[in-house]
Chain A
């Protein structure tokens, strides 16, 4: 009795009840593909967050007005807030006070709708700033030019726009040297930035950057700054730079204790660490849910194999009466269970690959190769493990008992 013959017997056994075989396989298939797809979704979302944070630049630190307290006191505190000013920015550019800082730029944000003929666009980021902003925020101009410090000094109405804004306003035309009107004020487009992609909830390419003087003069008026963007000399120096910024701003804003600071610092590196650890938890949770469904599929195999053994008890008795050795009966049922999980696992891998091509809840899944091997391996082991109990039960039956079974 060779292995191929036992496999032939096993395949025969499986074809007897096709619907049952199909449903059992389906259970394993869903288990395996959900492991692959869900870990791919988890992996994809953490990759997406990481990529967008990488694009923002890990050297940059953002200073924003306000304080972290919430609840009834939050408003009182914010009333006492000393706004961030250009002078703060100047102080944060002083190498003597902040030696770890490479450069700083003020940011004045506005909400404005830009018009070119009949096309309109409302950039999600509409900022007035200094040229240092581009490097500090890792924003690069792909076509055209940056504006200069001289442009800022002169208050020239020039603009660098993102690709989304460019497409919305100009379609496929070249936007360079064209004039657009934002909140009724004409700006000349001098540059288009590189594609940044989506930064979580915001389109990073819906962008309008102009000299801060021009924006304040014509659109926002002279208001406190929205934020200051600071670039540390290297990513290793961000912690040190942060401490220096605090020292300077604490002195300028007369802050007495760290809890009463009227500004907040956002460090991309720490954001990155937080987000990657939280997305790891997310991935593990998804994998756990998927693992449970794989387990349920395995229990399905046991259940079906038990039913099969009971249903075919008489047949097992006949086979033993005409000389089937115990090992052959054992192998036949074990191979049946293994084929179920093998085919289910293989279909699950295919299903997982197909499913991972689609964008799921806004996340482009990225398959983890380890999850494919793990899910497939586990499904086959489940077949062997959960199939072995019914199989050994079948093989150990005494022929006379099995033959009496109705």
Chain B
């Protein structure tokens, strides 16, 4: 495993300073007429490459909906969304699967590893869907697992790994495709405090190398690691602040 591979996992495909996420007038509506509920009631958001953003808010504030739209997992009722300069809101299913695979690395609260499948195979999977050849795939997956510090656990299946380790496999899987954007939905929600610390250190490292990270959380100490904090309520962004403590440390 040469150092170039490991570095590539962290810094490849990074275009410092340009707009990675550009959401304009995002509306997500459930139901029709008087009974309709707005999960998103007009959200405008820009995130530039290299940013580390935390989105906070109580449950029902629309933060997960926003996350799913940014991750191309869900569609909007109205508005537009450009990811890395490409309009996602009008894409068909096949183009969307390419975007999900190449532009976005998703990390879930419940890890969402494929059961009965080794850590290595899990990390290789998005690369396989991109059509990358087996040897190259394995090399890149190994590099990603090395970044998260699990190179000695590659043959373990999810049930043989601790929660923290599983989440790190998920991070490796998200990183393996060298995405423009790392999206994490309550990534520490199922972890103990030690694992939470380790994961947040990992996010710091990833972001420090230049990759854009967006984390959804309702925990203040998780949000405290981010450089920019968004607060949401009732489907709207109510505050957008630079994290002063991080400004000092950085």
Q: What's the minimum C-beta distance from B117 to chain A, rounded to whole angstroms?
A: 8
User: Does A321 have its Cβ within 8 Å of any Cβ on chain B?
Assistant: yes
- Find out whether the CB atom of A320 lies under 8 angstroms from the CB atom of B100: yes
User: Does A224 have its Cβ within 8 Å of any Cβ on chain B?
Assistant: no
Q: What's the minimum C-beta distance from A95 to chain B, rounded to whole angstroms?
A: 89
User: Does B50 have its Cβ within 8 Å of any Cβ on chain A?
Assistant: no
- Interface centre among A318, A322, A324, A400, by most chain B C-beta atoms within 10 angstroms, is A322
User: Does B73 have its Cβ within 8 Å of any Cβ on chain A?
Assistant: yes
Interface size band for A: 20 to 34
Closest to B117 in A: A12
Q: How far is the CA of A12 from the CA of B124 in the complex (A)?
A: 15
User: Does A399 have its Cβ within 8 Å of any Cβ on chain B?
Assistant: yes
- A-B pairs, top 10 by smallest CB distance, nearest first, are A323-B101, A322-B126, A325-B97, A400-B74, A400-B73, A323-B100, A318-B112, A399-B73, A323-B129, A324-B129
Q: A315-B115, A399-B73 are in contact. Are A326 and B97 (CB under 8 A)?
A: yes
User: Does A16 have its Cβ within 8 Å of any Cβ on chain B?
Assistant: yes
- Find out whether the CB atom of A1 lies under 8 angstroms from the CB atom of B125: no
Contacts of A314 in B (CB 8 A): 112
- Find out whether the CB atom of B116 lies under 8 angstroms from the CB atom of A16: yes
User: Does A5 have its Cβ within 8 Å of any Cβ on chain B?
Assistant: yes
- Interface centre among A5, A314, A326, A403, by most chain B C-beta atoms within 10 angstroms, is A403
User: Does B177 have its Cβ within 8 Å of any Cβ on chain A?
Assistant: yes
A sample of 5 inter-chain contacts (CB < 8 A) reads A12-B117, A321-B112, A322-B106, A327-B94, A399-B73
In the complex, chain A residues 1-46 whose Cβ is within 8 Å of any chain B Cβ = 1-2, 5, 12, 16
Taking A320-B100, A322-B100, A325-B129 as known contacts, 10 extra A-B pairs with beta carbons closer than 8 A to each other, sorted by chain A number, are A314-B112, A321-B73, A321-B112, A322-B129, A322-B173, A323-B98, A323-B102, A323-B177, A399-B100, A403-B73
- Find out whether the CB atom of B93 lies under 8 angstroms from the CB atom of A1: no
- Find out whether the CB atom of A323 lies under 8 angstroms from the CB atom of B112: no
Q: Mark A108-143, 1 if CB is under 8 A from B, else 0.
A: 000000000000000000000000000000000000
Point out the residue from B93, B106, B112, B129 that lies within 8 Å of A328, measured CB to CB. B129
- Find out whether the CB atom of B97 lies under 8 angstroms from the CB atom of A323: yes
Q: How far is the CA of A318 from the CA of B109 in the complex (A)?
A: 13
- Find out whether the CB atom of A321 lies under 8 angstroms from the CB atom of B100: yes
Q: What's the minimum C-beta distance from A52 to chain B, rounded to whole angstroms?
A: 60
